[in-house]
Structure 1
Amino acid sequence: MSHSSDTADFATRIAGELPYLRRYARALTGSQRSGDQYALATLETMVNDPDGVNREVSPKVALFQGFHAIWISSGAPVENEEEGIRGRAQSLMNKLTTNTREALLLHVIEEFSYSDIAKIMQIDQGEVEEYILIAQRELADTISGKVLIIEDEAIIAMDLESIVSDMGHRITGVARTHQGAVDLGQKERPDLILADIQLADNSSGIDAVNDLLETLGDVPVIFITAFPERLLTGERPEPAFLISKPYTEEQVRLSVSQAMFFASTETLNV
């Protein structure tokens, strides 16, 4: 295979990982707009300077490595222009130890190994492990609250309820249908909504969430789906917090802490 073919193949594989970089960037910044700006800047830099792309690592590691180079050079800024719940979340963000959330998100949400995270962040593997432990402790101290679960599979709903309750949050209810979710949400306002995409009555969990947000206002949302790439297209507003099925307990715990921290999910028009 020629060098040009190798380069084209590598670029194609990097493009395939872009939805996951956008997910990570949004979780990191707490904003689809800000996260997508960083993801776009990363892609533009790699396109304009293909010789600067690290081909000694996997395309996904190379993409995230490029992102972090920009993230660090910009000073990893956290905007604090929001008001209300988002403003409070951003204030909390400013108190976190530098680099800890990046390492934890890369490990738990994007499932990178400690070795790959060290390459992405350009630090020692020992530092990665230390950062993750610090972040876990700090996120465990975030505010507890009330959580509404929208999930039609009983076993998964019970599992989510157990995980979230063990974190110190209170479950306001578990809904299996669109109308059930709306009724529960209006009965008691949750601080967080944890929602599956497909519900028992063949309705959309996204539609249920949008209906709830119209009346509840600014409430963070975590969506759960077996097909995250279907939501991460960049063609419409997307969730800042997205868990892929099958999930791990650690992924749920981190996502809940993150969502409580940022409270920044946009409504989805699909």
Structure 2
Amino acid sequence: MSLASDLAPHLSYLRRYARALTGSQAHGDAYVRACLETIVAAPEEFPREVGAKVGLYKVFHAIWMTSHVDAPIDVESLPKPEQRFQSQIGGLTPLSRQVLLLTAMEGFGENEAAEIVDLTPGEIGELIEAALADVQSQSRTKVLIIEDEPAISMDLAALVGDLGHEVAAIAMTRQQAVKAAREYKPGLVLADIQLADGSSGLDAVKDILSQVDVPVIFITAFPERLLTGERPEPTFLITKPFDHRTVQATISQALFFNTADALVA
């Protein structure tokens, strides 16, 4: 099997990781393109011995740590959530958060994460502990949950509470979501894609973002459909069925960028 065929199943998930890492679809996808261009230019240097997925993320990490990729975009034309990356002062997301995303969001074990970022498994464990401590120290906010399945919304509400945040409201339709956002002014939105009345969580969020600038995390059973890199797509994405640590890491990263944005302002 060719290297391209080996890498293809992992590309959408690398986009998910890159977007969460940068806080921007445009910049995350730009780093993924740079990663692929590097592999195409020198396929013989790809680390096949560690496997296709680990090798792909390893190449991506090397590019992320050593270069700045300028996405060919008109920043001023983007919606405000996509401009967050431009407002960051400190540059790179801390290594501890990268490791948390690799293990909690992307499902790598500590040995695999160590291979990707070129550290020891022991160092990976220490970085995860540091990232989790950082999560616990984050400012608390109100969270709007847009989800039509009661069992899932209850689970998300419990997770939000465990992180110290307040559930502002749970909405099951686009209309309920827009009304709740207007009333409660949440600091974070968790949104399913398909809602109870056949309406779209994407449309609900579009309506909400026309009124207020708030970080959004989408939840879907079909993440590949929203990780093509071919059109405007979500920056933060959680796959159903979700792991609790994935939700925790994604919420933390979304709020990390939102907090940095506020500090710049």
Shared fold (TM-score, shorter chain, > 0.5): yes
What one-letter code is carried by the residue in structure 2 that aligns with 1:134? Answer: A
What one-letter code is carried by the residue in structure 2 that aligns with 1:167? Answer: L
Q: 1:219 aligns with which of 186, 203, 214?
A: 214
**8 Å CA contact retained: 2:22, 2:28:** yes
Aligned to 1:240: 235
Aligned to 1:118: 114
- The answer to whether 1:40 aligns with 2:36 is no
- The answer to whether 1:254 aligns with 2:249 is yes
What one-letter code is carried by the residue in structure 2 that aligns with 1:39? Answer: V
The C-alpha deviation readout for 1:48-83, integer Å capped at 9, x for no partner, is: 100000111221111101101111222899xxx999
The TM-score, its normalising length taken from structure 1, stands at: 0.86
CA 1:95–1:118: 2 relative to 1, 3 Å: closer
**8 Å CA contact retained: 1:149, 1:173:** yes
What one-letter code is carried by the residue in structure 1 that aligns with 2:183? Answer: K
Paired with 2:58 and 2:164, the residues of 1 have a C-alpha distance of 35
Paired with 1:34 and 1:219, the residues of 2 have a C-alpha distance of 19
**8 Å CA contact retained: 2:142, 2:187:** yes
Paired with 2:46 and 2:97, the residues of 1 have a C-alpha distance of 25
Q: Secondary structure at the match of 1:123?
A: coil
Q: 1:28 aligns with which of 17, 21, 24?
A: 21
- The answer to whether 1:16 aligns with 2:9 is yes
What one-letter code is carried by the residue in structure 1 that aligns with 2:88? Answer: Q
The size of the alignment, in residue pairs, is: 251
Q: How many angstroms does 1:123 deviate by? A: 1.2
Paired with 1:153 and 1:63, the residues of 2 have a C-alpha distance of 35
| Structure 1 spans left out of the alignment, 5+ residues | 1-5, 265-270
CA 1:166–1:88: 2 relative to 1, 3 Å: farther
Q: Secondary structure at the match of 2:134?
A: helix
CA 1:181–1:169: 2 relative to 1, 3 Å: same
**8 Å CA contact retained: 1:89, 1:261:** no
Aligned to 1:268: none
Q: 1:195 aligns with which of 184, 191, 195?
A: 191
Paired with 2:86 and 2:34, the residues of 1 have a C-alpha distance of 28
What one-letter code is carried by the residue in structure 2 that aligns with 1:123? Answer: L
CA 1:152–1:89: 2 relative to 1, 3 Å: farther
Paired with 2:19 and 2:92, the residues of 1 have a C-alpha distance of 19
Paired with 1:205 and 1:67, the residues of 2 have a C-alpha distance of 31
CA 1:143–1:156: 2 relative to 1, 3 Å: same
The C-alpha deviation readout for 1:131-150, integer Å capped at 9, x for no partner, is: 11111111221121111000
The TM-score, its normalising length taken from structure 2, stands at: 0.88
